Structure 1
Amino acid sequence: MLVETDTKSVAFYTLGCKLNFSETSTIARSFAQEGFDRVEFDQTADIYVINTCSVTENADKRFKSIVKKAHQLNEDAFVIAVGCYAQLKPEELAAVQGVDLVLGATEKFKITDYLNQLSKELPAQIHSCEIDEADFYVGSYSNGDRTRAFLKVQDGCDYKCTYCTIPLARGISRSDTLENVMENARQISEQGIKEIVLTGVNIGDYGKGEFGNKRHQHTFLDLVHALDRVQGIERLRISSIEPNLLKNETIDFVSGANAFVPHFHIPLQVGNNELLGKMRRRYNRELYTDRVERIKSTMPDCCIGVDVIVGFPGETDDHFLDTYNYLSDLDISYLHVFTYSERDNTPAATMEGAVPLKVRKKRSKMLRGLSAKKRRAFYESQLGKQKTVLWEAENKEGFIQGFTENYVKVKTYWDPALVNTLQDVTLDRIDEDGLVRVKNVDSASN
């Protein structure tokens, strides 16, 4: 059976990070230019595109169920797999029943070039380059949400962390040109979107490869200075930045910026210097502490999120408790906890001292409990203060939710007039669901 190129409906499913969401939106726009109508993934479509992730084992496992769901909606649908998993293990994805086309790191942005070749014949087609060929940059941003957009500014990574497959899936570190980032930001602004979240694999490395070479034409500090001057963008948020690349100058600038908000997400991975060395991270615990203290000294109400990995090979009970106690004492706001899973072709996968899965899960549960305590304490520290909320578009059981500039999640009774507005409110109390209720909500004031 041949899928004709006059097919008019396409649906997308995105696994993984904010960067993937920005790239899915760019791919979707390329389909729109070819005359396709985008529908939701739970609707019948002629083509289903799944943007994959391979950071964790769970993302791998979810792929099969998503393919199955697509064929339940339309048994004749054409299913395309793109993204990190598609680059790392194209043959494995192609072997999944129902998959018709697999596109790797560079091919995913040329997806509409393959529309004339769509054939539901076994085996599935694979177009995947050697990762060394992923040396060019494709700018992206998401605009599916009425309130915020994810703006990709950088791709790839030159770090060699022993647990990570991202350099194998996305290639070398490379950046968008400053001119193009600014143009994308202006396009987002013109759509009435109030907040931009900067995203990439290693955004603190921004500027490397900006014009096809390894030199830094610009720095991350240059980037934030330039973006802070874009008219119409009320908020700019830094999604995640390596502690060794988060400089004092950037922290100080954000503290007094027009649009950048007091919120940093800083990967730690583990709070023990011995394991940081085994992971080949480019900092130690002391530097991380210094970054947190610097932020809090300039922005006391700043929200600080932390990535942590539990169960890395060789992690003893003492190592874990070292991390737990360190995080417990640190002035941070929440944790993103990842349970270590062995990834093919990474040095960590062959290291001695594998931690039993049962122990990994127990440690993960402990850190998630600590995260809940940290978030609660941070929210409590903000009660009684006046903050600005950006209200979101979804009606959640009669309530509207939003985030303050420093990433406190708040709620009030649903009012469609509030959607995509910024409103000054007083943080009143923490609800039974852990969100903050607010005073002085008045849609007429907007």
Structure 2
Amino acid sequence: MRVAVHTLGCKLNYAESSTIAREFARRGYEVVPSSSEADIYVVNTCSVTEHSDKKDRNLIRRLHRRSPGALIAVVGCYAQLRGEEISALDGVDIVLGARSKGLVVDEVERLLAAGGRGKAPQRVEICDIDSVDNIFPAYSTGERTRAFLKIQDGCDYKCSYCTVPYARGGSRSLPTALLLEQAREIAASGIVEIVLTGVNTGDYGRKTGESFLSLLQDLNAVEGIDRYRISSIEPNLLTPEIVEWIASGTKFLPHFHIPLQSGCDRILSRMGRRYRTEDFRRKIELIRSHIDHVFFGIDVIVGFPGETEEDFRATYDFLEEIRPAFIHVFPYSRRRGTPAAGMPDQVPEHVKTSRVEILEEMCGRLHAEFCRENSGRTEEVLFESKSKDGKMAGYTRNYIKVEMPYDKALIGKVVKVVLP
């Protein structure tokens, strides 16, 4: 039977979907691209915004229209948060929440053994999120050059706007020994770069007696992996010890993705964030004092309840001051069940849209400035793919995209390039 796995949302979902697909293949199923027709569809959902929920529903409906006789299994954050909504959609056979997503292949086979779509009863398994203490190990292998390795799941922070703790549960970590084994498996497949991913990566090991820094040091010794990136890390968990160790000459690259969310202390307080702008500024300065040509990607939410023009201007000015290489801008999305959803002074949508556009303009300007600052430097580029215009594309250590004439022999190789 043909299986297609569809992934919406983050790289953590991508790692989990890749692992689900490998398990189907191991059991003898034909795994086909997500664009193909299939007998079984697995949809790994995202629920970070209301727009994400809508995309989930639209995809499920589209798959059912395309293949009315196909079995559809839905997992992921939207499945945990709104399982009853999903189960009411035409064509959905299986809905699995946070505890059970790693069992999706078993559940599919159980339903097939009971007669398949239309003959076996629908399976809906949604748990009390506070009871989730297991963790689904996962890593991606879909790309020739880069893998996403899940090290941690869940979050204990419960920021006032965020549904993730309600969708994925509290913070849990995978054992270092297992992660080292998986990193060696990735290396054996020929992949040379690993991105460590999780919901709150820097919280790794807090409940198990292991530590994030020790994990980084152990992974650094894995033969065959030349480059590591950290997908995202909270500023309060990126410690001076970690920064100094990375700067000492390791496989971890000068590329940090750090969520700021707001450059206004009043809004940070309302969000329930665990730092203020001065803490964030000092962390950026610390990293730059130890690591040259470092790339900072910064997350920012605009239009949070109560954000005035003065508050937004404070964020704008703060970003101008710290000058990240990239800004990931998100309009605030009102999420049912979160404290922020009930806050007064909700910001109109047209104001959010305007603020997004302003910061996206800033992002383009700051990214171009970062690239100019690196012009003329010799950098190592890992070429990954063929671009639409027939060139090959890859990224420097500090995450500048480079394109060159396509050369098949260089795909998956680290090449020294003088940046234009």
* Residue 62 of structure 2 is aligned to residue 69 of structure 1: yes
Describe the SS at the equivalent of 1:321: helix
> Contact 2:383 / 2:412 at 8 angstroms: preserved in 1?
yes
- TM-superposed CA distance for 1:121, in Å, is 3.5
Moved more, 248-257 or 238-247: 248-257
Helix, strand or coil: the match of 1:261?
strand
- 1:380 partner SS: helix
User: d(CA) in 1 for partners of 2:280 and 2:127?
Assistant: 37
- Equivalent residue, structure 1, for 2:235: 243
Pairing 1:206–2:204 present: yes
1:233 corresponding residue in structure 2: 225
Three-state SS of the structure 2 residue aligned to 1:392 is: strand
Alignment of 1:161-310 (within 5 A): 161-210=159-208, 217-310=209-302
Answer yes or no: is the 8 Å Cα contact 1:292–1:331 preserved in 2: no
**Partner of residue 365 from structure 2, selected from 366, 373, 394:** 373
AA aligned opposite 2:414: L
* Equivalent residue in structure 2 for 1:327, among 307, 319, 326: 319
Residues 134-189 of structure 1 show CA distances to partners (whole Å, capped at 9, x for unaligned) of 11122110010001000000111110200001110111111011111111111101
Structure 1 alignment gaps of length 5 or more: 1-7, 211-216, 429-446
The residue type equivalent to 1:249 in the other structure is E
1:12-53: CA deviation from partner (whole Å, max 9, x where unpaired): 111111111111111112212221111011111111111001
| Partner secondary structure for residue 64 of structure 2 | helix
Residue in structure 1 matched with residue 9 of structure 2 by the alignment: 16
Secondary structure of 2:385's counterpart equals coil
Alpha-carbon distance between aligned partners in 1 of 2:81 and 2:58, rounded to the nearest angstrom: 19
Cα distance in 2, alignment partners of residues 107 and 40 from structure 1: 24
How far apart, CA to CA, are the structure 1 residues paired with 2:30 and 2:36? 12
TM-score by length of 1: 0.91
| Contact persistence 1:16–1:53 (CA under 8 A) | yes
Q: How many angstroms does 1:209 deviate by?
A: 3.5
Question: Does the residue aligned with 2:252 lie in a helix, a strand or coil?
Answer: coil
Across the two proteins, how many residue pairs are aligned to each other? 415
Deviation at 1:72, TM superposition (A): 4.3
| Distance across 2 between alignment mates of 1:257 and 1:73 | 52
Q: Quote the residue 1:353 is aligned against.
A: 345
Unaligned runs of 5+ in 2: none
Distance of 2:198 and 2:250 partners within structure 1: 22
Amino acid in structure 2 at the alignment position of 1:101: I
* SS of equivalent residue, structure 1 residue 262: strand
Which residue in 2 is equivalent to 1:214? none
Residue of structure 1 in register with 2:125 after alignment: 127
Q: Distance in 2 between matches of 1:57 and 1:254?
A: 38
- Aligned mates of 2:47, 2:361 — CA distance in 1: 26
Q: Which amino acid aligns with 2:42?
A: V
SS in 2 for 1:158: coil
Query: What are the superposed Cα offsets for residues 251-273 of structure 1, whole Å, 9 maximum, x if unpaired?
Result: 11111233110000000000111
Q: Which amino acid aligns with 2:340?
A: A
Give me the whole-angstrom Cα distance separating, in 1, the residues matched to 2:312 and 2:375. 32
User: Is the Cα–Cα contact under 8 Å of residues 157 and 166 in structure 1 kept in the other structure?
Assistant: yes
Deviation at 1:219, TM superposition (A): 1.3
Deviates more, 1:63-72 or 1:277-286: 63-72
Matched, 1:46 2:39: yes
Q: Could you tell me whether the CA contact under 8 Å between 1:228 and 1:257 is conserved in 2? A: no
Distance 2:117 2:313 in 1: 53
- C-alpha contact 1:157 1:172 (8 A) present in aligned 2: yes
Deviations 1:294-325 (A, max 9, x none): 11111120100000001100000100011011
Deviations 1:188-207 (A, max 9, x none): 01111010000000010000
In 2, the alpha carbon distance for the partners of 1:191 and 1:229 equals 17
Decide which of 96, 113, 116 is 2:110's aligned counterpart: 116
Residue aligned with 2:327, SS: strand
* Aligned equivalents of 2:142, 2:184: Cα separation in 1: 16
Q: Is residue 111–residue 117 contact of structure 2 (8 Å, CA) maintained in 1? A: no
Provide the rounded CA distance (Å) in 2 between the counterparts of 1:90 and 1:184: 31
CA contact (8 A) 2:46 2:56 kept: no
Measured after TM superposition, the shift of residue 376 of structure 1 is 0.6
1:340 partner letter: Y
Q: Does 1:86 align with 2:71?
A: no
Identity of aligned residues (%): 47
Is 1:137 matched with 2:135?
yes
Question: In the aligned structure 2, how far is the partner of 1:331 from the partner of 1:315?
Answer: 22
Q: Deviations over 1:231-268 (max 9, x none)?
A: 11010001100000000111111112331100000000
RMSD in angstroms over aligned alpha carbons? 1.3
Q: Which moved more, 1:251-260 or 1:113-122?
A: 113-122
Do the aligned residues in 2 keep the contact of 1:42 with 1:73 (CA within 8 Å)? Answer: no
Q: 2: distance between equivalents of 1:417 and 1:68? A: 42
Distance 1:29 1:134 in 2: 24
Deviates more, 1:186-195 or 1:328-337: 328-337
CA distances 1:348-388 after superposition (whole Å, capped 9, x unpaired): 00000100011011101111111111111101110000000
Report if the CA contact (8 A) 1:54-1:84 is conserved: yes
